[in-house]
DNA sequence: GCCGAGGTTTCATAATATGAAACGTAATTT
DNA sequence: AAATTACGTTTCATATTATGAAACCTCGGC
């Protein structure tokens, strides 16, 4: 499904990784036979790969149902990946400051494939234990952060990345490539992106790009909240806050302040 | 380091995973040659494995130094793994093992507001149908689990959370904020907390923290029983059991084994 | 303009991963 | 209770696939 580069001598590894990726939030547990069908491998091969992954803790078996699921080693590596990400540690204080002054939810995201990956999220509510959504992904074309990232690419690259047709997630979702093209142009001019109920009814978000030392977009931050609270009146001020937070982060990433 | 079972036909996968595990908090970035030496593989092999992992997003290259580091796919999988394994089902087998070896009551708890919420409880007696107390709450300042959770917070946060004055539940309850402050300091140093008749006369308990991938305290487990049976003699050994159970759970939550 | 230290590619070789089929074993049906 | 099915596991001969030595780039330092 996601063949990027066929490199020789790596079949087993690619297959093993594709097995891992089958475990989603919707379907976190699998039987061997199901997995075999899903990835289209021989049952023996699937079994062998799983056994290897299991011996390393990348896969565990729910000891009641003996179904396969992702294991502790994955969680451990995920934590390391997050902590070693300096983008995250640099951005975090700024995200916290944003949340403190606006009172909504701020996040740091990256484009992976055609989806936005949540690297960090500071919740505005009084819910402890953030991090529940870290690692989640959303379609790029229907998010504020996604629009920012897509706007940093050439249009033909955007076309090749996005799975078409664009599915309508809400009645307001942008579903025509033409409209998306124009929307991205606007993002480029403005320097930020807004999403208004395109991903979820009643949800608004503003996103601004983070630039690294050579002017590339290294990530995006956003502030999201209910339309009821992110009113038209407040939006300009909030946008300015998000933009200035993004600029401060960018400076720390080595970007030249315009 | 962690060779469990040498299963035939999985060399490449095992090698790939061992590569991933080399990326630690202490050393999150590696060059090809360094990696080669570290894992003891041929340079070509290492390169090929890394390329495969990179094509799947499991590894990225820091575009300034082109050093290898853990990639976004790992973050994504880590999030999924975390969300599919809840605290309770991970902890339960360890709680059961504790009860089996000590013979008292073990529990899993969380801080909610200023009280400890019992998420799970395995009864040591012959009382059938555990779970009677699940959902119950106890004041944090008078429980072993509560002390552990409070010790993970800043002192001013503790002050703002706790309703003052601290009510004396038994003659031994800590009722002065000063004494509590010192008690929490001790907990931080020790890495565990003990309650001795502060919640109920004749009741002792030992609690140890569970750490998640981020190093945050994700919950607490405890072992509680009558002072008559949890004697001074037995306490050190029991404490060690609780601590090691907590460590094993933490590993499954993605914590780094110290 | 040369040197050296990475990273990358080539290619012949055999070791390794592969899949068909057979085997256990537990759950479900008759 | 016997028979059937579904699922996980093991075996084994085969050639596909991973392997590593060596040659080859490419860049930064001298």
Q: pLDDT-derived band of residue B172, with 50, 70 and 90 as boundaries?
A: very high
**Separation CA A15–CA A5 (nearest Å):** 13
Record: contact A84-B93, CB cut-off 8 A: no
Residue A90 clears pLDDT 60, i.e. is over it: yes
Whole-number pLDDT of residue B156: 86
Tens digits of residue pLDDT in A15-73: 999 999 999 988 989 999 999 989 888 888 999 999 999 989 899 887 667 789 998 88
pLDDT grade, residue A212 (50/70/90)?
Answer: confident
pLDDT band at B248 (very low <50, low <70, confident <90, very high): very high
B220 CA: distance to closest CA in chain A (Å): 14
- Token couple for A44: 């023996």
Separation CA A122–CA A113 (nearest Å):
24
Range B189-204 average pLDDT: 93
For the record, the structure tokens of B214 come out as 């981020």
Q: Given A4, A9, A75, which is nearest B78 (Cβ)?
A: A75
CB contact under 8 A, A52 and B14: yes
Give Rg (Cα) of chain B: 23
CATH assignment, A11-76: 1.10.10.10
Average pLDDT over residues B233-243: 95
Residues B241, B206 contacting (CB under 8 angstroms): no
Of A10, A48, A113, the CB nearest to B49: A10
Nearest to B254 among A12, A75, A133 (CB): A75
The protein residues having a beta carbon less than 7 Å from any atom of strand D are A 8-13, 31-34, 43-44, 47, 66-67; B 9, 11-12, 15, 41-45, 48-49
B16–A57 C-beta distance less than 8 A: no
Q: Give contacts of B256 with chain A, Cβ < 8 Å.
A: 76, 79-80
Q: What is the side-by-side strand order in the sheet with B115-122?
A: B137-139, B115-122, B105-112, B217-226, B203-211, B193-196
Our measurement of CA B103 to C1' D24, in angstroms, reads 68
pLDDT at A117 over 90: yes
Calpha distance A161→A150 (Å, rounded): 9
Q: Which residues pair with A108 in a beta bridge?
A: A120, A221
Query: Domain extents for chain A?
Result: 11-76, 85-252
Under 8 Å between Cβ of A70 and A23? yes
CA/C1' separation B131–D13 (Å): 56
Question: How far A237 CA lies from chain B's nearest CA (Å)?
Answer: 30
Neighbours of B142 (CB within 10 A): 23
Q: Given pLDDT bands bounded at 50, 70 and 90, which one contains residue A216?
A: confident
Residue A111 beta carbon within 7 A of nucleic strand C: no
Question: How many A×B Cβ pairs under 8 Å?
Answer: 202
Q: Please tell me whether any atom of strand C lies within 7 Å of the Cβ of A48.
A: yes
- Nearest residue in chain B measured CA to CA from A253: B64
What is the rounded average pLDDT of the residues B174-192? Answer: 94
Angle in degrees, CA A43, B52, B35, rounded to 5: 120
pLDDT at A257: 66
Torsions phi, psi of A109, nearest 5? -135, 160
Each residue's pLDDT tens digit, B110-138? 888 888 888 888 887 644 434 457 777 88
> What pLDDT shows up at residue B120?
85
Beta-strand ranges (E) seen in chain B are 59-61, 68-70, 105-112, 115-122, 137-139, 193-196, 203-211, 217-226
Please spell the DSSP secondary structure of A4-51, one letter per residue: ----TT-HHHHHHHHHHHH--SS---B-HHHHHHHHT--HHHHHHHHH
Fold assignment, B11-82: Arc Repressor Mutant, subunit A (1.10.10)
B6 touches strand C (CB under 7 A): no
Scanning every residue of chain B, which has its alpha carbon at the shortest distance from the alpha carbon of A16?
A: B13
CATH classification for the domain delimited by B85-252, as one of 3.90.650.10, 3.40.50.300, 3.30.450.40, 3.10.20.340: 3.30.450.40
pLDDT at B88: 83
* Angle, helix A11-22 to helix B11-22, in steps of 10 degrees: 70
| CA/C1' separation A21–C22 (Å) | 31
* Distance (Å, whole) CA B14 – CA B5: 11
């Amino acid at each position: 499904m996601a063949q990027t580069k066929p490199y020789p001598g790596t079949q087993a590894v690619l297959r093993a990784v594709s097995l891992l990726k089958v475990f989603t939030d919707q379907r976190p547990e699998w039987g061997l036979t199901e997995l075999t069908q899903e990835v289209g491998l021989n049952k023996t091969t699937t079994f062998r790969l799983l056994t290897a992954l299991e011996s390393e803790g990348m896969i565990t078996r729910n000891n009641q149902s003996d179904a396969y699921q992702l294991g502790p080693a994955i969680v451990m590596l995920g934590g390391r990946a997050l902590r070693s990400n300096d983008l995250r540690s640099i951005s975090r204080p700024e995200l916290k400051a944003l949340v403190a002054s606006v009172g909504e939810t701020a996040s740091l995201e990256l484009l992976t494939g055609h989806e936005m990956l949540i690297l960090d999220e500071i919740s505005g509510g009084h819910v402890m234990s953030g991090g529940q959504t870290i690692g989640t992904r959303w379609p790029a074309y229907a998010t504020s952060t996604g629009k920012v990232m897509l706007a940093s690419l050439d249009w033909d690259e955007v076309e090749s990345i996005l799975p078409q047709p664009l599915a309508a997630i809400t009645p307001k979702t942008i579903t025509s490539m033409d409209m998306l093209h124009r929307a991205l142009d606007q993002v480029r001019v403005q320097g930020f992106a807004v999403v208004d109920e395109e991903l979820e009814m009643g949800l608004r978000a503003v996103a601004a790009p983070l630039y690294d030392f050579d002017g590339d977009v290294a990530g995006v931050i956003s502030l999201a909240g209910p339309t009821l609270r992110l009113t038209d009146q407040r939006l300009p001020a909030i946008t300015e806050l998000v933009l200035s937070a993004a600029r401060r982060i960018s400076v720390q990433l080595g970007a030249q302040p315009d």
